[in-house]
Structures are given as structure tokens and as C-alpha cells.
Structure 1
Amino acid sequence: MKLFVCQACRNVLYFENRACERCGHRVAFLPERETMSAIELDGEADGEGDGKGDGKAWAALADKGKGRMLCRNAEYDACNWLTDVGDSTGYCRACRHNGIVPDLSDHVQLAGWRELEVAKHRLFYSLIRWKLPLQTRQDNPEHGLIFNFLADDPNSGERIMTGHDNGLITIALTETDEIERERRRLEMGEPYRTLLGHFRHEVGHYFWDVLVHDGDKLDECRAVFGDDSVDYGQALQRHYAEGAPADWQQNYVSAYATMHPWEDFAETWAHYLHIVDTLEMASEFGMEVRPRVDRDGELSTRIRFNPYEARDVQTIVDAWLPFTFAMNSVNRAMGMRDLYPFILSPAVVAKLDFIHGLVRGSAKAKAP
């Protein structure tokens, strides 16, 4: 994630800001420029409404563009993006992929949905930065990317499970309950469980379909991740009955990745997104790790590159390992869990390299 500034006063902005905390300017994200912008009401355009995505026209200070509209979900304080120029849907690039949302008349479900949207928009920041192919269900009714945010039914007792099915990603609203999410993390023996992690993992399944299966990369992928034709249902039952192999860390980024090659791919994809987006943030802060006790330089790094443009995965890994060792140590000093409680073995790095090649290949194919 980049650091952003308010064009009106140069104050630093968070990606989630709705207004500049110094000068009070309303701010919004311009997806085509991949930046936050201070915005002002466009006096030259007609529009009715309260300025929250229901008709007001805005001028963006970042590119001097006028007649811009806030996403319709800004009305619910669930989105701070501008729609594309000429858009007719009323929704931004991220929210056009929404299918079912929770009951917004229920304040608890509304609050949960807002949390989900924060994670979803961070996901789309990465997907847009890489120029990955994105189709809505309107673009592709059979396999467009769509998100359903669903709550458990207290009457029937039905529990919603997070998952992916042919472009449809279901996210359980229950995951926004921190206590319940922590309970599930402990129950499943996971070192890490977040809303953003769910989004990054599930979209990995979607891009396996798009970039591997439909991209004629199946044989190459199987050579790295294994034969995905093995029965998924049986693999699932075996995983929950027997657990992961004792030596799983030698070849997999997580215990869950051992369940089936599809899950291995999705887990590795998610970690690639974790690593690249976090390193971009570290680069924006000009972070440098140089421990006094590191005489050989193995734990030192200067993060002065854009990981979204890194030519090889080794450059990313060489920066990531010292950075996370430092951040894990800082977290432990605060009595907190490690920021990144995972091991990147040579086999996992090879899998990350495959993901890196997929992403870069897709970006090159889309470049003008």
C-alpha cells in the first residue's frame, strides 16, 4: 500500500480516510490513478443529494478532473472510491463486484459489512495495481467475479461458510466478530486469520481459474503445486481427519495448504499479496533493517524498491525475511503474536515464484 497525501494541505492520508484530518477536505480514491485525492463539490455540474454518493458531482484535485461521482455505497459509509468516468452503474470498480450484501437496516450487520468492505477495497487496490483481469457478472454471467456477504440464519440455524465457487466468493459476516474469528482461529490451529486474509485466499481460487486453467498454464502449475485432479472432497475429509504431515513446513506455507493443490495455490497466492503489499508500505516509509549483531548482512535490508514492479521473486524474499524478523521481534517486545508467523522454505519460494510469474505475465499481456 502506498502513502497518500491531501492535495489541499499535504497532510498524509490513510487509504480508508473519508476526509483530511488536518484541513477537512473530503477525500476519495481514484482507481485509475491509484491514488487518494482531495475532492471539492463541482460547481459547474448539476446534481442533487447530500454529497455521499447519491448525485453530487465532485472535482478531484489530484488530476483536476470534474464531474466525478462517489460510489453509491458511500451513502452507507462503506466506500470512499470515485466511480470511473462515464460509469453508468453508480458503483466503483470494487463495488461493481458485489452481489448480496447483509441487511443494512440491522446496525450490527451494517457495521460488519463496512469492515468487510475495508478488506475488499484493500484487495482491489492490489488487483488494480497489477492490472489483473477483472470481469463482473454483467461482463461474464457464468464466471465473473462476484462477492456475496451473508449472515448466519438464526431461525434455521444455517451457518454461512466462506468459500469460492466458479467466480462466486461467499464471505461469512460472522468473520467480522473478532471473538468468533479468534475462536475459529484457535479451533483450526491457525497462526493467522483476518478478513483481508480471507479475501486474498478466496480470490486466489478465482485467479487459478482465470490465469492457470483458462490461461493454458495447467501443466506448469501442476509441476509446482501437484496434481489438482485428485478428488477434492476426499482430500478435505483426509485433511480434517489426519491433519497436515509432520514435515509440512518444508514444502508448504501453511498447514491448510497441504490439503489439496487448489488450496496450496490459494494460500501461496494470498501470501504473495500479503508480502508485496506490506513491502510496498515499508518502502513508502523508507524502512531499513540493520541489526548491530548482524556481521554477515543476512538480517539486513534496505527496502527502496517497488515490489509491484520487482522482476524476480528473490528480490522480494531477500527484503521480506529480514523485515519480518525485525517486525516479529518488535511484536514480541509488545507481548503480541508475530506479524508474520510463517516460514518460507525453498519449496515455498519456488511456488511464490510461480505466482510472481503469473501476475507479471498477466500485467504484460494487458499493457498497451
Structure 2
Amino acid sequence: MRAFSCDTCGEQVYFDNTICLSCDSPLGWSRAEQRITVVPDDDTRCSQRTLNGCNWIVATPGLCDCCALTRTRPADHDVVGLPQYYVAEQAKRRLVAELDALGLPVAPRDAQGRGLAFDLLSSVEEHVVTGHADGVVTIDLAESDDVHRERVRLEMGEAYRTMLGHLRHEIGHYYEMLLVADDATRAAARDLFGDETADYQEAVDRHYADGPPVDWPERYVSAYATMHPFEDFAETFAHVLHVRDGLETAHAHGLTGDPRVAERPFAEVVLDTWLPLTRALNQMNRSMGQGDLYPFVLSAPVVDKLAYVHHLVTASSRSEP
């Protein structure tokens, strides 16, 4: 995420800021301008700002575009689910802002079932399965809880598990529906990810019964990606977002030069800029007694997949009218 400056005093401000800590100017995210700006008055603040901390600006009083994408949230009396919902919406705002920057369509779900919707569900009283179905992203809000999420991560033998990671993965399924939509792209995707017509439930059962192939790091970005071609695409899509957002943030804070992602081949960006940066950051984390920031090894076949998905994303944005 880029760094921004306060319109009033020029001090550096950030994506989540609601106030400038230097001059006390009220701040909010302008989706139209894709930047943090001074909020004109309270009527231009999202009506969900108290409930979920939203700092987005609205043209007319009410919900902002991002909050309006949420179809279901915890009930007002859910004292466990509401704080978890707060955390999930923070991550969702970052996701939507990145999708906007990429030029990907982020349209709310209409009466015909087209577009996006998010069901952010409390699992306090019911079992919730995180997933995607025809444009509806469902999130188990228990994943907002650090203790729960770390326990599941260890049980699943995962290297990485975050709320933002869940959202980036699940939205990847949605964009596969939109971007892999003709015979040519479908054939190219099949060459890289495998036959998407393979029975999904059989693949799930096999994955959890037998685990991933022993040599999975040679061909996949994660063990979960081995389960089915749909999951491989979604995991790869999530990592494209990880790389782009991570590099933009690093450049904004002087940790790397301009990655020029829009001009350079994405495989080159990954190999020559992203991997050296993450190796350094992993060592920095270790120097502080923490785990690796980016605990992934990107083999040549994985880099090819990343480059293909990035091409799909950027080609789609260039073709938008």
C-alpha cells in the first residue's frame, strides 16, 4: 500500500487513518481518487464507521461501496462475532482498494446473481465454512481471532494463515470465473494448473486422506494448492496480490526501488525484486525472534503460474472500456 500525505499539513498518513496525528484533520479513503484525503464533514463518512471502523468517504449519507458488499454480518448482540467482524472488514477494505488499483471489476451483487457479495459469519453458534460460490465469499469470522487462527494453522501444517490471505484466496475463485472465460484462456490455464473439470469433492477427500504429493514444492506455491486446479489458481491469485501490494508498500517506505510492475515482465519482478526483498525481510523477522514474513519457496513452475495470472489480471484491466 502506498504512503500518503495529509492535505492540511503534509505529514505522512496511511490507508487506515481516520485522523492526522499531526494536525488532527479528519481523514478518510476516497475510492474515486484512490487516496487518503481530508473528510469534508460527518455526512461524508460511511455509516458503518462506528461498527467496523470504516474510514471510507461516501457521496451521499449511508454505506460506502466497500461496506455495501457485505451481505451478512453478525447480529448486534453477538459480543464475540462483532469484534471479529471489525477485523475482517479492515482486511476487506485493503482487498477492495487493491482490486480497484488493479482495475478489476468490483460490482455489488445484483438481483440476477451477478457481482460480488461477502457473508462474514460468526461461528459462535453455527459451523461456518470459508469458501466461494458464484460470487459469494463466505468467511468464518473466527479466523479473525489470533489464537484460533494460529491453532488451525498448526493443525493444518500451514506456513501462513491470515484474514487478508483468506480474502485474497477466495476472491481468486471469483476472478477465475471472470478471467478464464473462453476456450483460449481455459486451455492455457489447464496447461498450467491442470484439468479443472476433475471432481472437486473427490479431490478434497483425497487431499485430506492422503495429503499433498511429496514433491509438491517443486510445482505448487502451497500444499493446499495441490488439492484441485481451482485451488491452485486461487492460491496463485492470492500470491499475485501479496507480491504487488508488498512491493508497493516496500517502495513507498524506501525498502526497494521502483519495481515498475506495470512495465517489467512479472516473472522478472518476482525473481529480481520480490524474492531478494522477502529474503531480507525473513532474516529481519528472524533477528527479532519471529517467523518468516513470507515463508514460501517459489519454484520455476510456480513463477510461471504467477506470471500467467498476473497477465490475465492486467490484460483484463487494459481491456475495460
TM bucket (normalised to shorter chain) is over 0.9
Tell me which structure has the larger Cα radius of gyration. Answer: 1
* Counterpart for residue 87 of structure 2: 115
* Counterpart for residue 223 of structure 2: 255
- Matches of residues 133-212 of structure 1 in structure 2 within 5 Å? 133-138=105-110, 141-154=112-125, 158-212=126-180
Matched, 1:18 2:18: yes
Q: Is the partner of 1:170 in helix, strand or coil?
A: strand
Matched residues in 2 for 1:24 and 1:105: separation? 33
* Counterpart for residue 330 of structure 1: 284
Report the AA paired with residue 4 of structure 1: F
Matched residues in 1 for 2:265 and 2:97: separation? 21
Deviation at 1:39, TM superposition (A): 2.1
Alignment equivalent of 2:72, drawn from 100, 122, 128: 100
Matched residues in 2 for 1:219 and 1:313: separation? 21
Unaligned runs of 5+ in 1: 42-50, 57-68, 289-302
Matched residues in 2 for 1:203 and 1:312: separation? 24
Matched residues in 2 for 1:18 and 1:104: separation? 23
Matched residues in 2 for 1:115 and 1:215: separation? 40
Q: Is the partner of 1:72 in helix, strand or coil?
A: coil
Matched residues in 2 for 1:73 and 1:163: separation? 25
Matched residues in 2 for 1:314 and 1:97: separation? 33
Alignment equivalent of 1:343, drawn from 297, 303, 308: 297
Could you state the TM-score of these two structures normalised by the residue count of structure 2? 0.95
Deviation at 1:93, TM superposition (A): 2.4
Matched residues in 2 for 1:143 and 1:29: separation? 26
The Cα offsets for residues 71-127 of structure 1, whole Å up to 9 and x where unpaired, read as: 2212424311112x4x68x32221221100112333432211110011001101110
Deviation at 1:215, TM superposition (A): 8.6
Percent identity of paired positions between Structure 1 and Structure 2: 43
The count of residues paired between Structure 1 and Structure 2 equals: 320
Deviation at 1:194, TM superposition (A): 0.2
- Matches of residues 1-368 of structure 1 in structure 2 within 5 Å? 1-41=1-41, 51=42, 56=43, 69-83=44-58, 85=59, 90-138=62-110, 141-154=112-125, 158-213=126-181, 217-288=185-256, 303-307=257-261, 309-317=262-270, 318-366=272-320, 368=321
Deviation at 1:310, TM superposition (A): 3.8
Deviation at 1:315, TM superposition (A): 3.3
Deviation at 1:221, TM superposition (A): 0.8
Unaligned runs of 5+ in 2: none
Report the AA paired with residue 312 of structure 1: P
Matched residues in 1 for 2:24 and 2:159: separation? 40
The Cα offsets for residues 302-326 of structure 1, whole Å up to 9 and x where unpaired, read as: x22343x244212321100110110
Matched residues in 2 for 1:105 and 1:175: separation? 19
Structure with the larger RCO, 1 or 2 (CA within 8 Å, 6+ apart): 2
- Structure having the larger proportion of residues in helix: 2
The Cα offsets for residues 264-313 of structure 1, whole Å up to 9 and x where unpaired, read as: 0000000110011000011112224xxxxxxxxxxxxxx22343x24421
